[in-house]
Amino acid sequence: MSDKLTPDLDYENMDPMGDLAKAFNGIDVFPSLEQENRKLKEINKNIQTKLNQTERELAKLKENVNLSCQEMMRILGDGQEYGHTEDYTEKR
């Protein structure tokens, strides 16, 4: 039975770096600069692809909004002329 004043021998013998190496089991925790560079270039390429796609979709949306506005203006213009014929019968 150990009390709190007696040092724990297992704790004293711990090797944090060795234990971490065992925990990661051969996984490269610190990738090389080349690997990191490739990873960042791939991320950049994906972002650029999505940006280009978004710009194309935005251009299509802008064109559709302009066409919708032009159509609405045409409909409103037609509505202003509708029913505004001169009724000469009332003037007689």
Q: Give pTM, 2 decimals.
A: 0.47
How far apart CA 31 and CA 40 sit, in angstroms, is 12
The angle subtended at Cα 85 by Cα 81 and Cα 91, nearest 5°, is 150
**16-38 per-residue burial string, b: 16 or more CB within 10 A, e: under 16:** eeeeeeeeeeeeeeeeeeeeeee
Segment 13-63, tens digit of pLDDT: 666 556 666 666 666 666 788 888 999 999 999 999 999 999 999 999 999
Residue ranges per structural domain of the chain: 9-81
